[in-house]
Amino acid sequence: MSTIIRLAIQKSGRLSEDSIKLIKECGIEFSSGGGTLKSMAHNFPLEVLFLRDDDIPGYVADGVADIGIVGQNVAVETRKTLEVVRPLGFSKCRLSIGVPKGFEYTSKESLNGMRIATSYPNILSDFLFEHNIKASIHEISGSVEIAPGIGLADAICDIVSSGSTLISNGLKEAEVVFRSEAILAACPQLSAEKRTILNEMLFRISAVQQAEKTKYILLNAPNHALKTITSLLPGVKSPTVMPLMEEGWSSVHSVVKENEFWEILGKLKDAGAEGILVIPIEKIVK
């Protein structure tokens, strides 16, 4: 039997949709949804396992799955030995300490002597140790935010996204302990054959990630402004310039970075560009 690689992703939760989307954008077809627990890709040597996110680091570390997509928070908290292959840029969140709204928090030293409730005892204990804070950790597995309100703890350490959960529980964010995003992790002992398959996947992931940050741009430019306009649009190699039917005008095609786009747009218009079209790109292979 030829080698396949097994990828563990979250079955249902905040990581699931983006994990599935990433694999599909890599051109790998597989069925998901319903009660599926595992699924073999039709056109790539990959099997997808659908698991609870907390189980993913252990499965990958033990080689039950070869690779996995999981939040850094969970990967670090479980203290499993994993190879972090690359950050994936989604499911960004932070782990923060929340204290009662009325508490006068001045610095990390304010945490001394506190009882802090959390589902992340390892990450919190590293943080307390690193900053030489003496506080006690109360591990609880869910609804951490209510712990101070019911007298179980003085503060909490939990995932914060907008902060509204903190506020509705009478808490405020005092300190960021850890910043997280989804990562692709691998079993440290992958065979050479599996490593080759992983590398092919990474090549495709790079093409998708490059494309997400880039847009294809087409515009019409008066020939006298071509020099200025093309200097604003470096392109993958250099812009394509083609003559228009109308004398003295050209069509310019190039790519622009998403984050530079608005700034460049103004300059292009000032330089005389017209009919500017901006189109999403699916993949970029350099």
Residue 54 interacts with Zn ion (CB under 5 A): yes or no:
yes
> Which 176-235 positions form the footprint of Zn ion (CB under 5 A)?
none
Cβ proximity to ligand ATP, 92 vs 267, nearer residue: 92
Q: What is the 3-state secondary structure (H, E, C) of the chain?
A: CCCCEEEEEECCCCCHHHHHHHHHHCCCCCCCCCCCCEEECCCCCEEEEEECHHHHHHHHHHCCCCEEEEEHHHHHHCCCCCEEEEECCCCCEEEEEEEECCCCCCCHHHHCCCEEEECCHHHHHHHHHHCCCCCEEEECCCCHHHCCCCCCCCEEEEEECCCHHHHHCCEEEEEEEEEECEEEEECCCCCHHHHHHHHHHHHHHHHHHHHHCEEEEEEEEEHHHHHHHHHHCCCCCCCEEEECCCCCEEEEEEEEEHHHHHHHHHHHHHCCCEEEEEEECCCCCC
Q: How far is the CB of 20 from ligand ATP (least distance, A)?
A: 13
Residue 14 interacts with Zn ion (CB under 5 A): yes or no:
no
Q: State which residue has the least CB distance to ligand ATP.
A: 71
Q: How far is the CB of 194 from ligand ATP (least distance, A)?
A: 25
CA geometry: angle 8, 9, 13, nearest 5 deg: 155
Cβ proximity to ligand ATP, 44 vs 178, nearer residue: 178
Cβ proximity to ligand ATP, 69 vs 211, nearer residue: 69
Residue 53 interacts with Zn ion (CB under 5 A): yes or no:
yes
Cβ proximity to ligand ATP, 45 vs 87, nearer residue: 87
Q: Which does 91 bind (CB under 5 to 8 A by kind): Zn ion, ligand ATP, none?
A: ligand ATP
Stretch of residues binding Zn ion (CB under 5 A), selected from 47-55, 59-67, 226-234, 259-267: 47-55
Q: Which does 57 bind (CB under 5 to 8 A by kind): Zn ion, ligand ATP, none?
A: none
Q: Are 209 and 270 in contact (CB under 8 A)?
A: no
Q: Which does 14 bind (CB under 5 to 8 A by kind): ligand ATP, Zn ion, none?
A: ligand ATP
Q: How far is the CB of 71 from Zn ion (least distance, A)?
A: 9
Stretch of residues binding Zn ion (CB under 5 A), selected from 49-57, 61-69, 157-165, 269-277: 49-57
For residue 27, give the amino acid letter: G
Cβ proximity to ligand ATP, 152 vs 159, nearer residue: 159
Q: Which residues bind ligand ATP (CB under 6 A)?
A: 10, 13-15, 52-54, 71, 73-74, 91-93, 159, 161, 180
Report the interface residues with Zn ion, using CB under 5 A. Answer: 53-54
